[in-house]
Amino acid sequence: MPLSEPPFPPPAGTHPGTGATAERVVVVGDSHLGSADPGDQDAFHDFLAALPAMTRRLVIMGDLFDFWFEYKFVIPRRPFGTLARIAALAQQGVAVEAFGGNHDRWGGSFWRRDLGIPFHREGAELELAGRRAWVIHGDGLTETKLGGRIIHRVTRHPVTVGVFRALHPDIGFWLADKLSGGLAEANRTEAAMDRAAAAQERYALALLDRRPELALVVMAHTHRARLVEHGGGRWYLNAGQWVRDRSYAVVEPGAIKLLKWPEKP
């Protein structure tokens, strides 16, 4: 039986024995598991275990892992414990949807076929708690440093992906471990992230102006939690970073909340 199909699907609307409803959506981003403090990973696993009592839907906003790349028959070993817990959520009736970030965009068939979880390399339009939303990780849209823009273009380029895919996985994963942290830190100073967060907010509000049908824009990447109302009942949301802050967001029909684990809605 596919992991995405629980043996006894719970009735629509409410998870058995809990107050979780399909109208409450949990949003989390920028966990960077693999490079994060082990305590952040343990807390994230506790967070996943608590979700069936909190929600029937989870949106992962990208950079869940500090590095992820799928070969045809090989995936990284290090994230297995987290992936097993995410698969268990699906078996308990929690719908999970994942987005790729600049550290883990190179996913695809494994998420869809083996986990039964939609995986978006780029942005997608979703319905979140009755709100029409544009959801995207956000890298490459508002980079304020030349290095960030160059890295964004290089890592997305088909030639780069093809060359990496040609490497033996042991070599590829070793190389990614060596490069990932250094390349990221070069563009992740506090001042640079503050500038990127301000630019991202301007981008999101301008998008709401251009697309009046949208009620919500959800982004990640800058590691800065934001909840900004624009035009009355329309919002820009960034759930912030799980790594270090353990921040996440909850979207409900009547409210949007920024929380820090172990806070619960």
Please tell me the predicted confidence (pLDDT) of residue 16. Answer: 42
Q: Taking 70 as the threshold, does the pLDDT of residue 17 lie above it?
A: no
pLDDT at 130 over 80: yes
Distance of CA 106 to the CA centre of its chain: 13
Helix (H, G, I), strand (E, B) or coil at 14: strand
Count how many domains the chain has.
1
Residue 2 within a domain: no
Residue 109's pLDDT is what?
Answer: 85
235 Rama class: left (phi>0) / alpha (psi -120 to 50) / beta: beta
Q: What is the DSSP string of 86-127?
A: HHHHHHTT-EEEEE--TTT-B--HIIIIIS---EESS-EEEE
Indicate if the pLDDT at residue 108 is higher than 90. Answer: no
Question: Do the domain assignments include residue 46?
Answer: yes
Is pLDDT above 80 for 41?
Answer: yes
The predicted structure's pLDDT at residue 221: 93
Assigned domain for 16 exists = no
Instruction: Decide which of 173 and 135 is more confident.
Output: 135
CB neighbour list of residue 224: distance below 8 Å, 6 or more residues apart: 193, 194, 196, 197, 238, 240, 241
Supply the range of the domain harboring residue 126. Answer: 25-260
When pLDDT is cut at 50, 70 and 90, the band that residue 157 belongs to is low
* pLDDT given for residue 152 in this prediction: 57
Predicted pLDDT at 52:
97
pLDDT tens digit sequence for 222-242: 999 999 999 889 999 999 999
Is pLDDT at 262 greater than 90 in this prediction? yes
- 4, 202, 214, 229, 239 from 130: Cα distances, Å: 23, 24, 11, 17, 18
167 lies in a domain? Answer: yes
Q: If you average pLDDT over residues 55-75, what whole number do you get?
A: 91
- C-alpha span between 242 and 5 (Å, rounded): 28
Angle among Cα 121, 119, 261 to the nearest 5 degrees reads: 100
Segment 237-252 mean pLDDT: 96
Q: Are strands 235-238 and 255-260 parallel, antiparallel or unpaired?
A: unpaired
Q: What residue ranges in the chain does DSSP mark as E strands? A: 25-28, 57-60, 95-99, 119-120, 124-128, 131-135, 216-219, 226-229, 235-238, 247-252, 255-260
Contacts of 70 (CB under 8 A, 6+ apart): 106, 107, 108, 109, 110
Q: Is the pLDDT of residue 12 over 60?
A: no
Mean pLDDT of 110-118: 91
Q: Is residue 62 part of a domain?
A: yes
Residue 91 lies in a domain: yes
Question: 99 in a domain, yes or no?
Answer: yes
For the domain that residue 119 is a member of, what is the CATH number? 3.60.21.10
Does any domain span residue 265? no
Model confidence at 116: pLDDT above 80: yes
174 vs 40, more confident: 40
> How far apart are alpha carbons 85 and 70 in whole angstroms?
19
Can you give the pLDDT at residue 190? 82
Looking at residue 14, its pLDDT comes to 43
Which neighbouring-strand residues pair with 218? 135, 237
Average of pLDDT values for 187-210?
89
Q: What is the pLDDT, as a whole number, of residue 3?
A: 38
Mean pLDDT of the chain: 84
